[in-house]
Structure 1
Amino acid sequence: MNGPPPSPPPSEYFFERYPWNNRWVLFCIALLVACSDFLAGPIVFFPFMFVIPVALMAWNCGLRTALWLATILCVIRFCIQYAWGIPYTLPVAIVNAVLRLAILYLITFLCGKLSEQTQALRARVRTLEGLLPTCSYCKDIRDENGEWQQIEDYVASRSEARFTHGICPKCVTKHFSAVINRELERQNADAGH
């Protein structure tokens, strides 16, 4: 009766929806940024524009993919400098490329980690909030697919909570009063002898 885990609700942030969460769209945007960097010429730089597709890639597609994109963009930028003719010495161009790569890696890492923490927090909030449609008699819960599950199964599949069972004093009195009364009578009879 355990169904698949609940699907996440649609995001309220535009950058987490299509097309901003598609790695191929982001890769094309990165190439467009690189092309605009090339068309701007050797002196005007647009490497700050590289942050946009790399940050979106880190947020939506994972850290490893975003690091690859950052590397590719830095290599493209270095090649663009060669195509236009580097306006300064080769060692300075290499230092600039390494610094650019380090900064993009740092931004990528921070965006990726923030995304992971945000997703984990959302998952935790999703398990702890919302209305639970329950049966008035048996206390089963209806899930997102309309299927009924025992409350223990439902909560255990959506949280870290685990159940143990016992009987509260009210239910002992309600359901086992005959047994308790018989036991008390037997104890009284044994005490009277």
Structure 2
Amino acid sequence: MNGHHPQPPSEYFFERYPWNDWRVLFLMALLMACCDFLAGPIIFFPVLFVIPVALMAWNCGLRTALRLAVVLCIIRFSIQYAWGIPYTLPVAIINGILRVAILLFITFLCGKLSEQTKALRARVRTLEGLLPTCAYCKDIRDEEGEWQQMEEYVASRSAAQFTHGICPKCVAIHFSEVVNPDEKKKDAGADPG
């Protein structure tokens, strides 16, 4: 019963369409690269590249975003080369390496933060809110309207496992003649009828 439970829509705009579609983010990155080309070779770090890369890291995974970051930095270096590098080639290479390192670091941070946030949300969502419970048998109604035993419901949504025993109160109520058979005989002998 550990089936996949649908994710509720996100409350954050950047986790919804179009910001969570890798194709849209890739097109956005290409558009920003075109704008970077039009701006000329003097801008050392195209800050706008951070936006599609961070969104890609958050919504589409760290590997995809790291690849996009490297591609954008290569495009930026090519743009600089096409415009004519205003300084020596070793300085341009050092700038390129710094650009890649900074963008990869930002991408890595966004990806890890996204993973931790999603894991935390899943943990919070596991058993939050009001649970519709039967007043008699204590079964719980799930999202589809089906009734499940409490143990089954909780186990399918968390790492909790159940063991069963009998509390002292229930032993006294339901098994008093087994636990204290002498008391039952005393009661029977004391009641002459």
Normalising by structure 1, we get a TM-score of: 0.89
Q: Is the 8 A contact 2:44 2:95 kept in 1?
A: no
Distance 1:153 1:108, change over 3 A: same
Instruction: Confirm or deny: 8 A CA contact 2:56 2:64 kept in the other structure.
Output: yes
Look up the match of 2:71. Answer: 72
* Structure 2 counterpart of 1:103: 102
Name the residue aligned to 1:152.
151
Residue type at the aligned position of 2:82:
A
Residue 163 (structure 1) shift: 1.0
Distance 1:3 1:148, change over 3 A: farther
Contact preservation (8 Å) 1:30, 1:73: yes
Q: What amino acid is the match of 1:145?
A: E
* CA distance in structure 2 between the aligned counterparts of 1:34 and 1:46, rounded to whole angstroms: 12
Q: 1:12 aligns to what?
A: 11
> Within 1, Cα distance between the matches of 2:140 and 2:182?
37
Cα distance change on mapping 1:3 and 1:142 into 2, 3 Å: farther
C-alpha deviation, 1:181, in angstroms? 4.8
Contact 2:22–2:60 under 8 Å retained in 1:
yes
What is the rounded CA distance, in whole Å, between the counterparts of 1:23 and 1:151 in structure 2? 40
SS at match of 1:166: coil
* Number of residue pairs the alignment of both structures matches: 186
Deviation at 1:173, TM superposition (A): 2.0
- Deviation, 1:146, is 1.4
Distance 1:35 1:50 in 2: 11
**Distance in 2, Cα, partners of 1:102 & 1:46:** 11
- Compared CA separation, residues 97 and 31, structure 1 to 2 (3 A): same
- Partner in structure 2 of residue 121 of structure 1: 120
Write out per-residue CA displacement over residues 57-102 of structure 1, whole angstroms, 9 at most, x where no aligned residue. Answer: 0111111000000000000001111211111111111111100000
Structure 1 pair 66–21 and aligned structure 2 pair: CA distance change class (3 A): same
Higher relative contact order (CA 8 A, sep 6+): 1
CA distance in 2, matches of 1:156, 1:13: 29
Distance, in Å, in 2 between the alignment partners of 1:45 and 1:99 is: 10
Residue of structure 1 in register with 2:36 after alignment: 37
TM score, norm. by length of structure 2? 0.89
What is the RMSD of the two structures over their aligned residues, measured on CA atoms? 1.8
> Does structure 2 retain, via aligned residues, the 8 Å contact 1:37–1:45?
no
Could you report, residue by residue, the CA deviation over 1:140-169 in whole angstroms, capped at 9, with x for unpaired residues?
111112111111111112112111111011
- Structure 1, residues 31-55: CA drift from partner, whole Å, max 9, x if none? 0000100111222456100000000
Residue 179 (structure 1) aligns with: 178
Contact 1:5–1:157 under 8 Å retained in 2 = no
| Letter of the structure 1 residue corresponding to residue 106 of structure 2 | I
Which amino acid in 2 is paired with 1:74? C
